[in-house]
Amino acid sequence: MANKKIALVTGGNKGIGFEIVRGLLQAGCRVYLGAREAAKGQQAVAELAAEGDVLFLEVDLNNPATLAAAAAHLQREEGYLDILVNNAGINVAGDGSPATADVRSVEQVLQTNFVGTLAVTQAFLSLVKQAAAGRIVNVSSPLGSLTIVGQNDWALLGYSASKAALNMLTVQLAYELRNTGIKVNSAAPGYTATDLNGFAGTDTPAQGAAEAIRLALLPADGPTGTASSSAGVLPW
């Protein structure tokens, strides 16, 4: 038990997050499954109980009180956090092209996907610093790449901007922590079938989770400050 890595996965009750939790459990980690709704989080924990050491933790990106309470709980129970996977995120109706996107919808997506993820990262960063070799993984998207979006007709301004901002968090935090053992990277799942896209994706959630799991378990000589998918490094 003492040798287990301690992990927290936000938005872990469904989709890619659920499969990230499963993968980390199979790797021998003790995983705190973060979710904003207790009933759904507890149900997911029950479904994964046979896979390993999994516990529920209330984490709502837009509710600072839950972040403070969760961090305090982990400090009491564990004293450190080896792995933080920032997976939780939203896509909302009303997002669209720069000419048509509803401004409030764009604001809502940015608030959750970027500002909320920043709040989570700040809430748990001191715990990651107390680990022997912390890992922070931000679940991003190819839609967060300026290069890729500039070559495709992907008109989701708010979602794309939120993931581009998340990539900026990755590179700035990686640089800030460059003299520590902590590695910070962005993982792009690819076009995964989840409720975020009405299950229209071509990849399974397990496939979508693979890169985040790999980055969460990076060895000491692994990269930091990168964005990648299972196919390799992505352009900014």
Helices (H), ranges, the chain: 15-26, 38-48, 64-77, 103-110, 117-129, 146-149, 157-176, 205-216
**Known catalytic residue at 175:** no
Which candidate, 214, 212, 218, places its Cα nearest to that of 181? Answer: 218
Whole-number Å distance between alpha carbons of 6 and 2: 10
Cβ burial, residue 130 (10 Å; 0-12/13-18/19+): middle
The answer to whether the Cα torsion of 215, 151, 204, 162 is positive or negative is positive
Which candidate, 163, 175, 176, 181, places its Cα nearest to that of 227? Answer: 163
Question: Which three-class secondary structure state does DSSP give residue 6?
Answer: strand
Residue among 32, 159, 175, 191 flagged as catalytic:
159
Whole-number Å distance between alpha carbons of 104 and 94: 8
Residue numbers annotated as active site: 159
